[in-house]
Amino acid sequence: MTAEANRPDAQHRARAGSGDAADAASAGSPLVDRTLGADHLVRQEAAGLRNAEPPREPDAAVIGHASKAAAGIPAIVQTVRFGVREMGVRRSVSQYLKVNQKDGFDCQSCAWPSPDGERHIAEFCESGAKAIASEATTKRVGPSFFAAHTIDELAARSDRWLNEQGRLTEPVVRRPGRDRYEPIAWDDAFALVAAELARLPSPDAASFYTSGRTSNEAAFLYQLFVRQFGTNNLPDCSNMCHESSGTAMVEGIGVGKSTVVFSDFDDCDTIFIIGQNPGTNHPRMLTALERAKRNGATIVSINPMPEPGLMRVRNPNPQDGGLRYPVELFGRGTELSDLYLQVRVNGDVALIDGIMKAMLEDEERAPGSVVDRRFVERYTTGFDELAAFLRGLDWDHIVEASGVALAEIRHAARIAGRAERMIACWAMGLTQHKNGVDNVAAVLDLLLLGGHMGRPGAGACCVRGHSNVQGDRTMGIWERMNQGFLDDLGAEFGFTPPSDDGLDSVDTIKAMHAGRVKVFVGLGGNLLAAGPDTAFLAEAMQRCELTVQVSTKLNRGHLVTGHTALILPCLGRSEIDRQASGDQFVTVEDSLGVISASRGSLPPASPSLRSEPAIVAGLATAVLGERTTVDWLALAADYDRIRDHIANVVPGFEDFNHRIRRDIFTLPNAARNREFKTESGRAQFTITRIPEHGLGPDEYLLTTVRSHDQFNTTVYGDDDRYRGVRGGRRVIFLNHEDARRAGLAGEGQRVDVTSHFGGRTRTIADVQVVPYDIARGSAAMYYPEANVLVPVGSVADKSNSPTSKSIRITLAPSLGSA
């Protein structure tokens, strides 16, 4: 059983905005350093808060026309330009031809799967190409770089500039009272971590974070090390992204993963895309959507903004090629969406409830034409209760709460009602709300009504964000792993894992701020930029005795640290991983549960780099000492040994080494076989009530989004050509009519944006207004810049994910605004 299959129920004024909540959290846990005075610590904290947020942009963004189609010639141009700039011509060609190939390496960016069989020669997208080039860059950040730059000097640079400096080459340490990082030997770094962890009053005073770029092998070793150390404090990026998906899916269908396979997109006749922007966040998905469209599928897109990747695509590498290729590149492209529903931010439950209500009305007029009665009666429970609830909903309330006209809702209902094989896809547009779990549960209800579960061309497609975030969870990276996994892990390695629940990402932030967690270790990622409430999070980091970051490149998270800080540089996916037994490979799991091998081919950026498994093994050896019987260094020397242990502990990985050398393979998924491992043994219909936002006449609901020139928190450039924004990121998208009514429609208008939660406010100043085709009452800003507005205490029910897509805001003209 998988981990998710057993889940229980310019100047920002952000510091003041953290308010009394931050003060209360820190009460009774003053900063105490063993060598430095309180005055120094106050100064360090103030400097850290300044360093936490990107500096103001010197010039205003240039606002032009948004793109009408995704990909095409501009994507090819940007891919070539970025690759040549970072890697050179020869290196670019070699790496682009290796990525996502079965004998190559897995893309460092999104978790969209590659085809099961034959793959295109260019099995990558613009976003992935930028990630590859960024990792395989020829630029280097070594000891001389850190000697030349203080931390405050680096913090004055943009996130883009920090990323562009190149690959980290050697371990470095920032010691208490120092203003910059200095070199440190690997063994000394491991000893420093061991000494700091040994001083803790309890293993639970440390927290061990993981990002989605970590391999299965590294993740398995990491959770084993942490549990042998004695804690389940294993937060990860999934806590902040798709935790709501896993929660809803486990409650509804008994498994927290997608129930479709790649070929289902060839077999489906209907696709609903909800709260997702494939063109920017998962561009390779456009090929699957285009192919489904050409096979006759009807596509319905639901989103507050009409993103180009939802509307039309010019595919640079159509798989059937031939004469269509130039037409595809230079013509209008393929129209994707047959119906686009511009829902308000967090109006999804209202809309989906409305679609199902209309479907039931159609069913009553023609029994058996809409609801799959045989499936519902045999495999589900709760249908009668849901039907009664939907019949009682008021149409005026549904239309007002969703922002979608009744005629369009009925149109969507007719499409869903006649579907024989329907897939529903979603991403973080649904999950990061207070009612994020309900949002996903409503999507599952929609699928269950038509019996779209456990048959070809139908099912739930939860599209994960980072390349191996799903694999991390499968390998045991979770603060609440089921007891069966813990028992098997303990039996395999001869110890008793801790059984108490650990801390997730949000609770880790709060515990660091309160002084209960004193050591933070991050295996990849950039929690400072990914997490909510930037000022609060910065304060939390600085209250740690030690922060450790395992990274490939410099980021802002390295500039806001504990009293002591380490940066441990690791190999990238594209690099040769040579250990004592020879060249190694690792594995990853994509959004559809497919396990693939990943083999780098480039020489390492520095001879001093270590692989993630080797770093974890070095930490475990130093920290655990004689308390462990595991031969950590032997595991790091030969990853086959790690995979043998995985095969004995994790279901679905039997005979792991043999199978992965033969080909990719797909993990079992009970719901795909109509086996629902819920308490009732049936799929569960869920009543999802329409949330009441109660926005005032001058309030908006803000969602955070990516630009087209970033992946997660990594910013590659300052342009967003899909939305027509160039040369700036400090912008807010407002509906044209909303902007006009507020007197903010003029060119160059700037506002202070203030979020409101629990009687407290957080403000980001001097933000440029961009009138845009976004739903009324809604607004959007880029993260991580907007994360300062996300309250740490505003989280989704049940999943505890930050509500980064559902922030109540007001606007006020900035001083000097045009």
Q: What is the pLDDT of residues 209-243, one digit of tens each?
A: 999 889 999 999 999 999 999 999 999 999 999 99
pLDDT tens per residue, range 574-591 = 999 999 999 999 999 999
Looking at the structure of the chain, the number of domains it has is: 3
* pLDDT in the model for residue 68: 73
Residue ending a domain, among 670, 689, 707, is 670
Give a yes or no: residue 628 inside a domain: yes
Report the CATH number that the domain containing residue 615 is assigned in CATH: 3.40.50.740
* Beta-sheet pairing, 422-426 with 459-462: parallel
Structure-derived torsion over alpha carbons of residues 707, 710, 713, 714, reported in degrees to the nearest 10: -150
pLDDT tens per residue, range 308-346 = 878 767 666 655 544 455 555 555 677 889 999 999 999
Alpha helices in 517-599 (DSSP H): 527-530, 534-542
Residues 537, 392 share a domain:
no
Q: How confident is the model at residue 751 (pLDDT cuts 50, 70, 90)?
A: very high
Measured at the alpha carbon of residue 117, what is the angle toward residues 116 and 123, in degrees to the nearest 5?
Answer: 80
Report the CATH number that the domain containing residue 366 is assigned in CATH: 3.40.228.10
Q: How confident is the model at residue 116 (pLDDT cuts 50, 70, 90)?
A: confident
Residues 126, 164 share a domain:
no
pLDDT tens per residue, range 540-550 = 999 999 999 99
Residue ending a domain, among 670, 695, 727, is 670
DSSP-derived secondary structure for 267-321: H-SEEEEES--HHHH-TTHHHHHHHHHHTT-EEEEE-SS--HHHHEEE-SS-TT-
Of the spans 23-27, 332-336, 768-772, which averages the highest pLDDT? 768-772
Residue ending a domain, among 621, 646, 670, is 670
| Average pLDDT over all residues of the chain | 90
* pLDDT in the model for residue 4: 40
Residues 537, 640 share a domain:
yes
* pLDDT in the model for residue 316: 63
Q: Which element (helix H / strand E) includes 24?
A: helix 14-26
Give a yes or no: residue 717 inside a domain: no
Judge whether 255 and 249 are in contact, CB under 8 Å.
yes
Residues 403, 262 share a domain:
yes
pLDDT tens per residue, range 263-298 = 999 999 999 999 998 888 888 888 899 999 999 999
pLDDT > 90: what percent of the chain? 76
Question: How far is the C-alpha of 304 from the C-alpha of 621, rounded, in Å?
Answer: 50
Give a yes or no: residue 716 inside a domain: no
Question: How far is the C-alpha of 699 from the C-alpha of 815, rounded, in Å?
Answer: 20
Residues 666, 592 share a domain:
yes
Q: How confident is the model at residue 6 (pLDDT cuts 50, 70, 90)?
A: very low
The residue among 694, 693, 775 whose CA lies nearest residue 733 is 775
**Does the structure show a pLDDT above 60 at 723?**
yes
Residues 488, 509 share a domain:
yes
Separate counts of helices (H) and strands (E) for the chain:
33, 33
Give a yes or no: residue 767 inside a domain: no
**Does the structure show a pLDDT above 50 at 727?**
yes
Residues 150, 124 share a domain:
no
* pLDDT in the model for residue 33: 32
Question: How far is the C-alpha of 732 from the C-alpha of 210, rounded, in Å?
Answer: 31
The residue among 520, 522, 430 whose CA lies nearest residue 213 is 522
Of 330 and 679, which is predicted with more confidence?
679
Residues 327, 277 share a domain:
yes
* pLDDT in the model for residue 318: 56
Q: How confident is the model at residue 42 (pLDDT cuts 50, 70, 90)?
A: very low
Judge whether 59 and 109 are in contact, CB under 8 Å.
no
Give a yes or no: residue 511 inside a domain: yes
Residues 534, 446 share a domain:
no
Mean pLDDT across 773-780: 97
pLDDT tens per residue, range 149-180 = 999 999 999 999 999 999 999 999 999 999 99
**Does the structure show a pLDDT above 90 at 573?**
yes
Judge whether 236 and 505 are in contact, CB under 8 Å.
yes
Q: How does DSSP classify residue 524?
A: S
Give a yes or no: residue 694 inside a domain: no
Mean pLDDT across 44-67: 76
Give a yes or no: residue 791 inside a domain: no
The domain in which residue 548 lies consists of: 21-31+139-236+470-670
Residues 209, 358 share a domain:
no
Residues 395, 259 share a domain:
yes
**Does the structure show a pLDDT above 80 at 31?**
no
Give a yes or no: residue 309 inside a domain: yes
- 332-361: string of b/e by CB count within 10 Å (b at 16+)? ebbebbeebbbbbbbbbbbbbbbbbbbbbe
Judge whether 236 and 210 are in contact, CB under 8 Å.
yes
Tokens of 546: 């030690």
* pLDDT in the model for residue 123: 84
Residues 248, 333 share a domain:
yes
* pLDDT in the model for residue 49: 65
